[in-house]
Amino acid sequence: MAESTASSSKQVPSEMPSSPLAGSSDGPNPDLAPSVIVLGMAGSGKTSFVQRLTAHLHAKKTPPYVVNLDPAVPYPVNIDIRDTVKYKQVMTEYGLGPNGAILTSLNLFCTRFDKVIELVRARSSTVPLTIIDTPGQIEAFTWSASGTIITEALASSHPTVVIYVCDSARATSPATFMSNMLYACSILYRTKLPFFVVFNKADIVRPTFAQRWMTDFERFDEALEDSRGGYSNDLARSLSLVLDEFYCGLKTVICSALTGEGMDEVLTAIDECKQQYRDQYIPLYAEMRAKKVEETAKRLREDAKMGDLTSEVKALDVGRVRDSDDENE
Ligand SMILES: Nc1nc2c(ncn2[C@@H]2O[C@H](COP(=O)(O)OP(=O)(O)OP(=O)(O)O)[C@@H](O)[C@H]2O)c(=O)[nH]1
Ligand SMILES: [Mg+2]
């Protein structure tokens, strides 16, 4: 059941909003239902996880609000990017490949994201949470302007949590595990939002090995020795030491989108993150906002100064022209 948002019949990106750190005019409200952004590498099980968590909440008679930001996948949700932006049309209209079209679709959608925020806030009293699925290619969201704008718009309005879905079966390779952890770490440091890692597909491989690797460097080192990766092993070994601090504060949940294992633990972790949003993110948000206001004020002062200088330069130019005219006469 798709809830129609502002539709863009003509697929032309209107002006991109600047960073919405300014956020909702009334500032963040920590009492609203949280929004959960589900990120992860392609095929890690994001969509399956969203669907399983949705079914789990339906079974508890507390259905969530679901938003799909993947323009390439048809999906029965409350708000679907596909209702606003036609992915195939974007490809032909702009002559783009699949990844470029995903990025452009997100850009188009994010120009109307204020409407999504309005809808999400309006549902906040009737749903326990909003779950947001993201495109397959993780970088289309995490390293794009639209991904940042969407994340900041949510975070400046109400509790926002990032869940990083990791494919446990693939993470048995120490190099893949390390790539996942680097992604997770960079997302955490970039968004500064309450965050946890879900080790999905636990029905295929018990991800207890991953939790051991995070708490005991020797065990990770042994796994690297067994995998005989040469240069990449040395790199993974060094990175593991660097990530030690990241591992220390990191929440992890073992789950399976296939069997439904771990869904209650996921809900508990979201609750903890909601509290963390109130205690840690909101003060940080106030700091970031004050800094932004200060930067803007500084820029305006500099612009004003430049304005004065420009008029002085113009005056000088006029003077110079007059002088040369005098010489010519
Ligand atoms: N056994 C098992 N398979 C799973 C699980 N979760 C997802 N899968 C399978 O993994 C594959 C990818 O799942 P998706 O949910 O499409 O993954 P995704 O991250 O949304 O994929 P993209 O959006 O394309 O990046 C599908 O074949 C799923 O059936 C799980 O917990 N256990
Ligand atoms: Mg998906």
Query: Along the 329 residues of the chain, how does pLDDT read in single tens digits?
Result: 346 443 333 343 333 334 444 445 568 999 999 999 999 999 999 999 999 999 999 999 999 999 999 998 887 899 999 999 999 999 999 999 999 999 999 999 999 999 999 999 999 999 999 999 999 889 889 989 999 999 999 999 999 999 999 999 999 999 899 999 999 999 999 999 999 999 999 999 999 999 999 999 889 988 988 876 667 788 888 888 889 889 998 999 999 999 999 999 999 999 999 999 999 999 998 998 899 889 989 888 888 877 776 666 666 665 555 555 555 55
SS3 content of the chain, % helix, strand, coil (to 5): 60, 10, 30
Find out whether 122 and 58 touch, Cβ atoms under 8 Å.
no
pLDDT at 183: 94
Task: Indicate the CATH number for domain 26-281.
Answer: 3.40.50.300
Distance, CA 192 to ligand 1 centroid (Å)? 27
**Separation between Cα atoms, residue 162 and residue 131, nearest integer Å:** 10
Return the residue whose CA atom lies nearest to atom 8 of ligand 1. Answer: 45
Distance, CA 49 to ligand 1 centroid (Å)? 8
Distance, CA 70 to ligand 2 centroid (Å)? 7
48 lines ligand 1 (CB under 6 A): yes
**Separation between Cα atoms, residue 50 and residue 38, nearest integer Å:** 8
The atom number, within ligand 1, closest to the CA of 135 reads 23
Return the residue whose CA atom lies nearest to atom 2 of ligand 1. Answer: 201
pLDDT at 20: 43
Return the residue whose CA atom lies nearest to atom 29 of ligand 1. Answer: 48
Domain boundaries, the chain: 26-281
Sign of the alpha-carbon dihedral angle for 19, 162, 118, 87: positive
Return the residue whose CA atom lies nearest to atom 9 of ligand 1. Answer: 45
Q: How many C-beta atoms surround the C-beta of residue 220 within 10 A?
A: 23
Find out whether 105 and 81 touch, Cβ atoms under 8 Å.
yes
**Separation between Cα atoms, residue 273 and residue 16, nearest integer Å:** 30
